[in-house]
Amino acid sequence: MFKLSSSYKPNTKLQFDYDILSKLTKQDEVSDLYRESYIQGTAAAESILTTKKQNPNSINQNLSLYYTQNDKNIFAVEIQHLYQDENPFYNANLQTQPFVLTDYVSGQNRNDLNQNRFVKTNKIDAKFDYYYMVTPKTNFNLTIGNTYSHQNFNSHIFQILDNGVTNDLTSAENNNQVQYDFNDVFLGLHYKMLTGKFTFTPGVSVHYYDMNNGQLGSSLNQSFVRFLPDLFALYQIKKSESLTYNFSLSNDFTDINKLAEGYVFSNYNNLFRGNRALENATSQVYSLRYFKYNMFNFENIFANASYTKKVDAVKSRADFIGINQSTTPYNSNLADETMAAMGGYGRSFLKNYKASANASLNWSKFNNIQNNNQATTESFTQSYTVKVSTNYKNMPNLELGYNWINNKYSGATFITEKPFAKLDYYFLKSFSFVTEYEFYHYYNAAKTINNEYDFLSASLIYQKKNSKWEYKVAATNILNTVALNEDSFSQFSTRTSQYTVQPRYIVFSLKYNL
């Protein structure tokens, strides 16, 4: 990574900022897994070897100019440019043939599948803002901007036969040569008003969108105009207490990866094919936030709630053959919905004690097509945490807590109970000792999964006052726990997994502060 930042402020009225960030990356991933499959009714275990390699590069530039002409007129210009070059290579070597592809040679001892991809992106965002201060408490904001993106996407699938000969899959369905241009020209107007304890900022922007993708010897163009309103409202109840509301309507666009109509391997058992006729989705987002803080007893209360509804969302049409999956995107005529809420309360009491309670709720509903049937999946996650702690200066400080998580997916429920403790002690004016313990009870509603495991870590630091030397010994996974559990939810499936974790290890470190 390389970053250069600069700032020029010749006077209080003018400021010019510029920075550039460059990233050069090399990524290699090799995996080896075993699975049990059924071939003509007979169970057989096979090894699957996969390799992923890529050297993505990017350059990101940002330029900002702010000019205050006088108390009434303020100008701002912001420009961002991104150049990105990606070249992911994928190889899967397995015994069974996962998909039927044109020009593919079947009957090999091993199926050695390879795929080259090249994606280049050139994107520029430019925006000009003008603020006119009508009064000290009201102003108009005029925005003129443009977002332009140019992308190239090339991909090619080939097979290595048992004798080492390369078999190129030259048919159009196994290759991509795509060019995609996206242009958004917009004009926005906002009015900000402060009255009493209230702040209102209603606004609207009008966008002209123009998109063109060329592939398979032809071009497809889409263009339209869209009005997008938004609203920000703030009720400043007190200096340390506020209520905030946000609403926005936005257009969501896909990129070239989902428009390329040739096959692309997402994984050894997942074949993806894009759809050049995809249209944009529209999202409605509502959010409400409450915050209160009392500096005398450190009481803090917060609550957030949000709701998102996405119409014409880009979804996946999936066809399953066993565990092998072939997907293609489409615009759904059913809306996706998500809701989230979280809140917490905490305060100190009896001078040296603190207590807090937090809760979070997340619900989602997604619609897809699976094996030509409409499939609706829902998830509902609940998490509750309570904890108490001490706050002594010359005595050990202890924190005790309990966390309960319930993940309910379509057809499955997983529960995690986690009591935890932390001890922090600074003693003899030079030593600091910290230890943490977590106990997990992980199970599902059907009790077919019921696991218990725990983790213990500790560290001891020695550093004399005003000394530049620090000595530290730290131990992780002291109890030498072997594995942990995790569950996840996708729009097509629910999964619970057990992962091997790094065994117990101890680190001795020496640090010198320059």
Most confident of 266-275, 317-326, 479-488, 489-498: 266-275
Cα torsion angle, 9, 12, 16, 17, sign: positive
- How far apart CA 365 and CA 495 sit, in angstroms, is 17
Average confidence score pLDDT of the chain:
92
pLDDT digits (tens, 9 = 90+) for 417-454: 999 999 999 998 899 999 999 999 999 888 888 999 99
Report residue 43's pLDDT band, with 50, 70 and 90 as the boundaries: low
Mean pLDDT of 271-300: 93
Contact between residue 377 and residue 409 where contact means Cβ atoms under 8 Å apart: yes
Confidence of residue 323 (pLDDT cuts 50, 70, 90): confident
DSSP 286-324: EEEEEEEEETTTTEEEEEEEEEEEEES-EEEEEEEETTE
Whose CA is closest to 436, among 417, 461, 459, 457? 457
Sequence letter at residue 282: T
pLDDT at 350: 85
Span between the terminal Cα atoms of the chain, in Å = 24
- Cα dihedral 264, 267, 270, 275, rounded to 10, equals -30
The b/e string for 23-61 (b: 16+ C-beta within 10 A; e otherwise) is eeeeeeeeeeeeeebeeeeeeeeeebebeeeeeeeeebb
In the prediction, which pLDDT does 317 show? 87
Among candidate residues 134, 253, 254, the one with its CA nearest the CA of residue 193: 134
pLDDT exceeds 60 at position 38: no
Residue 140 to residues 136, 235, 342: CA-CA distances in angstroms? 12, 20, 34
Q: How confident is the model at residue 489 (pLDDT cuts 50, 70, 90)?
A: low
Q: Which of 397, 394, 401, 400 is nearest to 424 (CA)?
A: 397
Dist CA 335 CA 154 (whole Å): 32
Which 8-state DSSP code applies to residue 41? Answer: T
Q: Does the pLDDT of residue 321 top 90, yes or no?
A: no
β partners of residue 417: 404, 441
pLDDT in tens, 462-488: 999 889 999 999 999 999 999 888 877
Tracing tokens 């997907």 back to the chain, one arrives at: 327
Q: How many residues does the chain have?
A: 514
Name the more confident of 476 and 500: 476
Q: Which two tokens mark 237?
A: 């109840």
Residue 428's region, left for phi above 0, alpha for psi from -120 to 50, else beta, is left
The CB density around residue 428, as the number of other CB atoms within 10 Å, is 7
Cα separation, 303 vs 290, in Å, equals 5
Q: Is residue 155 within 8 Å of residue 260, measured between CB atoms? A: yes
- 198 beta partners: 195, 235
Residue-wise pLDDT for 325-337, tens only, equals 899 999 988 899 9
pLDDT tens, 205-247?
999 999 999 998 899 999 999 999 999 999 999 999 999 999 9
Instruction: For residue 301, give every residue at least 6 positions away whose Cβ sits within 8 Å of its Cβ, in sequence order, or none.
Output: 290, 291, 292, 293, 343, 344, 345
Query: For residue 261, what are the contacts with CB-CB under 8 A and spacing of at least 6?
Result: 173, 176, 215, 216, 273, 274, 275, 276
Interatomic CA distance for residues 502 and 209, integer angstroms: 50
Confidence of residue 40 (pLDDT cuts 50, 70, 90): low
Higher pLDDT, 393 or 372: 393
Q: What's residue 167's pLDDT?
A: 96
**Going along 350-430, which residue ranges are E strands?**
353-370, 373-390, 397-409, 412-427
Q: Give 92's contacts (C-beta < 8 A, 6+ positions apart).
A: 48, 49, 50, 98, 111, 112, 113, 265, 267, 268
Phi, psi of 223 (to 5 degrees): -150, 145
Nearest to 276 by CA among 250, 257, 249: 257
